[in-house]
Structure 1
Amino acid sequence: MADSSVFTTDLGAVTAYADAKAHGYTGTREEFATLLANAGNNLAEANAAKTAAQASATQAGQSATAAAASAKAAASAVGATFYGVEFTGSTSAGTRTGAAAEFVFTPGTDTSAGQNDFDGVYPWAGMRRCCCTLNADGTVTVNAYKGQPGYIEDGTNGEVLVEVPLFYVSGMLDVNPRVSAVPMPGFRAPKKFQNADGSLKQKCYLPAFPGSIGADGKLHSIAGVVSTGNKTISQFLAAARLWGETYSIGTSADFEVLAYLMIVAYGTRNVQAKMRGVSNLYTTNIAVTGALTSEAAVIVAKGALEVGNVISIGTGSEDESIAKRRIVTAVEAIDGDSANVKVSFDGDAVTTTTAHKVWRIMEATGTANSVISTCGSPVSNTDGKHSFVFYGCENPLYGNQWRFECDWKIVDGVPYICNDTNYNWSSVENYTKLDSLTLPNEGWAKNLQADERFPWLQITKEVGGSSGTHLADYFYINKSGTRIVLRGASSRNGGPAGAFYLYLYSDASWLGWNSSADLSIPG
């Protein structure tokens, strides 16, 4: 651990601490010093790891990346600088600013570590998975962090969450987003870190995995399951509220935390250009090429399915009459048959014939666990067929399934945001009308807008872009009646998918396999 005493005596750091206290920071001077010191405390350790890892090119490369990032962090920590990116014109890629000016972000895979200079700086360096007990009052009790005894992702030691340390942001996401580990002039704490009394949380929690409703009826964040679909937004919210009355499904405050961290790290508004996510996996009518009797398996052409795929089997298209939402657990060669493979899946045995078809739907939770770096996808970041992980969060913001966002809606084309957590879709009571925002018609999003009272909610302002310019995401809207919010797109949406892809088209009765919800933790 680096010596933090320099940060407690340096005039700039002392001033920063005073400013932090004025903005609601509740930690001690020593804790604040540790926060600053953490930006550079990995340099010596990273160099030692690099030396020790000479026998492994992958490990050595990963350690070198951490060392480079830590060196940059150490040089700027006392100055309490920011990490940012600036976008101009129609180009989706931006120019890195502040202490991130020379940073590189190259996501990894299950065989390559890539290069990610953000690994060595806060708040990214402080994000970590943990098993947690969710208390009825909205607080979280951490049972074990990843790497500690007791850490397990199947739900037997609590929900799997990602702990995020307090940070500050400034600028619009589509223009000049900036992130700082400490308060700076013009910066604000994201909504997720703000308590009702104006004080600040020193950390918040995000779900590590897409939401799944268990046998207990609750909405969970665990690995090794199929994320739930075919529920309405009200049903998902009710499942989350079984944990306690302040729990919820994803909100614009959850989006804000991930969006600032992601856009600054990616360095582009076109998030799919960095990690495409599960946006091109969906396909139906995969031929069954051999019959099997009473087996939890199916025979298909080689390359049609992978471990982790969620599949159904039926008579064609999206039919599920033979097997429903099964997770592929193994793909095995067949002796004497070079064209086909035997694919095993979880659940009960079934009988299949060559008259049946397989529907490849999406990816199960936990399928990005094989990635050897903090950010990346197994196998490929560009094929659109694999889950991705971003600092412990799997498939956040886009891909696999649409995600409900429950704290705002549109009524006759005008956005409304709820004043507390009493979300509903039948009236505007207890909602604030954002009539300063004029929403465009359908099209490719160009830029964003926000009401100054609710800066965390940033919605499409203009359309007229394309799949490779501006925000590079699509904007759907129905300006008649009350419309709920879906974000990100599913495994079949391809190019239009992304963090800024909004679907403001359906009413509260909407449900489908391709729409889900993530657990939102208040504490």
Structure 2
Amino acid sequence: MDFTFPRNETLERIAVALEGMGASAVPKFSEETGRYDNASIAAWLARMRDGKNYGVSIPKGSSTACTKTGANAGIANPKPGVIGRAAIDPYVNQGAFFFVEVNGGVDADGMPYVTAIDGDGRFSRLDDTWVLTPVLYTLETETDDAVNLTVSDTRQPGMKRQPAALLPNGAQRPYMLYAKYALSVDSDGKPRSVSGAAVKTRSVSHDGGISLMKTSSTGDSLKVAADDWYVKTMFMLKYATKNSQSIFSGCTGYDITATPTLAESNTTRVVIAKDKADQILIGSAMMFGTHTGTNTDRGYDYNCDIFDGARVTKKFAIDSSNVAVYFDVAKPFSTATTYQLATAPWNTGSCDMVEGDGSPTSCTDGKQPFVVQGIELGLGMLEVLGNVLIQYTGTGAVVYVNPDTKNEKAGSSPDSALSAGAFPGQAAEGWNYALYCKTVNGLMIQQGTGASTSVGICDGNYKVDDTTVGWREWLSLGNLWDWGNAGLWFVGGRNGSGDPGWFIGSRRSANGRSRGEAA
């Protein structure tokens, strides 16, 4: 069966890329397997290559501005969009930047598969949803002054395959898949990447992800370094800045708690003071608890025992001082003036109505998630990497990347893990701000010290004292109150490898099983 699209926006976008191609050039779907043929997808992507080298020069100094090079020079930075105003993005359908949303997954040997493509009549964001891209080829060189990164959809002399492009058996993936959405679970506890779900937190950690994703027997894993690399690389190439929060702040300044001002029963709303309600965004998510204890921390069950991650549907003024906040919940509840309402990480799919890169209503207000290259990020929680750990040796800290998550183990990195070098920072515990970044064994990692939230990389990485001994997980992006410390290069490096939290989540990865950084 040939691949055909009904008439919709995806058709309009992909039709441009397919212009002039015959029916033999498009993916083939098998009714027998329920999957598209991987070889036909790879051939389809190959016919859309432009062969251009898109580059960016990343200065090693304090300047945040990068320089576009090669075929990237002269391409204007995109203008991110919001709901109702589409992004203006000159990179759409450009060679290395091509992507399309699909349903699918990954087999136990690490081979990705596709069951539906956006626009084919089978696709649904309520099924496991991924962003499909071509395998990219990269060249990264260093001078005294800069790291120069070049990416292409066609292998050029000196280039190597992108991180995780090779399967454990040495074969190249036919394409790359990246989870569109943060991790949630279904009623049976099965991990998924779907729209419209409360994110999975509270029990997610590096160690917990091994059993949750069944890494020893499946191709699934938590988010890995290769997933992180793709977003960072695309961002750098498109926006040419080391300061990711200058474009997308993410939900990093949305730490609001309130107590009801009115007790009600059999309701789906919570009435709170107007000054608190004015800070709450429709579409965001909150938690509500009986607050029978004295601690206000969201990690306590009594602060989320009524609902956890319910979406705000509307607000209604009761009077000049009080506002009712309504929630999308399965059943009504009661409220009391001693209960606690608090912001929570956004639900998945909150950016579904954004056309292109952007956020629901503001990209920089510090309250909202964002989407880059079709991937929704910055929901107000930290995303743990399932194949990266930091080892504190007693005299410093070293970062390790494990190429094949089938070997991942709790409490430390396996012997197969590769060193990505030192975790930057001063000897004493605290925040460090790196000057630049580079890719080491598949992980795009910060380098240097002495910057701040406004110069250099601009994102903080938290490091414990050099005299510490033990393993810590790699927590990315930032949570509800990390403010200027947060961003694409943020790392929390103090939590133990098995430490979960209400503010810690992740996402599925189809790229956990690989041979290592490709040669």
Q: Normalized against structure 2, the TM-score is what?
A: 0.79
Count of residue correspondences: 451
Q: Which amino acid aligns with 1:487?
A: S
Alpha carbons of structure 1 residues 443 and 130: separation in structure 2 relative to 1, 3 Å: same
Find the aligned partners of 1:313 and 1:30 in 2 and give their Cα distance: 51
The CA deviation string for residues 290-343 of structure 1, in whole angstroms up to 9 with x for no partner, is 332111221233434333322122347335255231422521435766852341
Shift of 1:418: 2.7
Determine if contact 2:199/2:345 at 8 Å carries over to the other structure.
no
Counterpart pick for 1:275 among 248, 266, 287: 248
Alpha carbons of structure 1 residues 416 and 290: separation in structure 2 relative to 1, 3 Å: same
Determine if contact 2:58/2:436 at 8 Å carries over to the other structure.
no
Report whether the alignment pairs 1:85 with 2:60.
no
Find the aligned partners of 2:97 and 2:363 in 1 and give their Cα distance: 20
Determine if contact 1:295/1:350 at 8 Å carries over to the other structure.
yes
The CA deviation string for residues 123-180 of structure 1, in whole angstroms up to 9 with x for no partner, is 222x1111225544444442322233232222xxx31111111111222697322221
The CA deviation string for residues 228-279 of structure 1, in whole angstroms up to 9 with x for no partner, is 1111322223121279423211111221222212221121111111111111
Report whether the alignment pairs 1:259 with 2:232.
yes
Aligned to 2:380: 400
Which stretch has the larger CA shift, 298-307 or 513-522?
298-307
Report whether the alignment pairs 1:113 with 2:81.
no
Shift of 1:28: 11
Listed as ranges, the gaps of 5+ residues in structure 2 are 1-17, 23-38, 514-519
Q: Which amino acid aligns with 1:485?
A: W
Q: Which amino acid aligns with 2:104?
A: C
Aligned to 1:509: 498
Shift of 1:191: 1.9
Shift of 1:407: 1.8
Aligned to 1:472: 458
**Which one has the bigger helix percentage?**
1
Matches within 5 A, 1:79-478: 80-88=51-59, 89-104=61-76, 105-125=78-98, 127-132=99-104, 134-154=106-126, 158-171=127-140, 175-231=147-203, 232-241=205-214, 244-284=217-257, 286-300=258-272, 301=274, 302-314=277-289, 315=291, 317=296, 318=298, 319-320=302-303, 323-334=306-317, 340-371=323-354, 373-395=355-377, 398=378, 400-411=380-391, 412=393, 413-418=397-402, 420-421=404-405, 422-427=407-412, 429-432=414-417, 434=419, 437=422, 439-441=424-426, 442-448=431-437, 451=440, 454=441, 456-478=442-464
Find the aligned partners of 1:236 and 1:28 in 2 and give their Cα distance: 30
Alpha carbons of structure 1 residues 321 and 92: separation in structure 2 relative to 1, 3 Å: closer
3-state SS of 2:164 partner: helix
Find the aligned partners of 1:172 and 1:194 in 2 and give their Cα distance: 21
Which stretch has the larger CA shift, 196-205 or 236-245?
236-245
Q: Which amino acid aligns with 2:461?
A: F
3-state SS of 2:404 partner: coil
Determine if contact 2:62/2:455 at 8 Å carries over to the other structure.
yes
Alpha carbons of structure 1 residues 243 and 206: separation in structure 2 relative to 1, 3 Å: farther
Counterpart pick for 1:518 among 480, 493, 507: 507
Determine if contact 1:135/1:243 at 8 Å carries over to the other structure.
no
Determine if contact 2:476/2:491 at 8 Å carries over to the other structure.
yes
Determine if contact 2:178/2:227 at 8 Å carries over to the other structure.
yes
3-state SS of 1:112 partner: coil
Q: Which amino acid aligns with 1:416?
A: Y
Alpha carbons of structure 1 residues 266 and 424: separation in structure 2 relative to 1, 3 Å: same
Aligned to 1:499: 488
Q: Taking every aligned residue pair, what percent have the same amino acid on both sides?
A: 20
Q: Which amino acid aligns with 1:380?
A: S
Find the aligned partners of 1:243 and 1:437 in 2 and give their Cα distance: 28
Alpha carbons of structure 1 residues 499 and 342: separation in structure 2 relative to 1, 3 Å: closer
Find the aligned partners of 2:356 and 2:253 in 1 and give their Cα distance: 23
Q: Which amino acid aligns with 1:340?
A: V
Find the aligned partners of 1:91 and 1:220 in 2 and give their Cα distance: 39
Determine if contact 1:403/1:516 at 8 Å carries over to the other structure.
yes
Alpha carbons of structure 1 residues 29 and 321: separation in structure 2 relative to 1, 3 Å: closer
Matches within 5 A, 1:48-63: none
The CA deviation string for residues 55-114 of structure 1, in whole angstroms up to 9 with x for no partner, is xxxxxxxxxxxxxxxxxxxxxx4xx32122223331112122222222221111112223
The CA deviation string for residues 482-522 of structure 1, in whole angstroms up to 9 with x for no partner, is 22211121122110111111122121231111111211114
Determine if contact 2:284/2:347 at 8 Å carries over to the other structure.
yes
Which stretch has the larger CA shift, 158-167 or 315-324?
315-324
User: Over aligned residues, Cα RMSD in angstroms?
Assistant: 2.9
Shift of 1:212: 1.2
3-state SS of 2:483 partner: coil
Find the aligned partners of 1:403 and 1:362 in 2 and give their Cα distance: 11
Alpha carbons of structure 1 residues 31 and 227: separation in structure 2 relative to 1, 3 Å: closer
Find the aligned partners of 1:159 and 1:110 in 2 and give their Cα distance: 23
Q: Normalized against structure 1, the TM-score is what?
A: 0.79
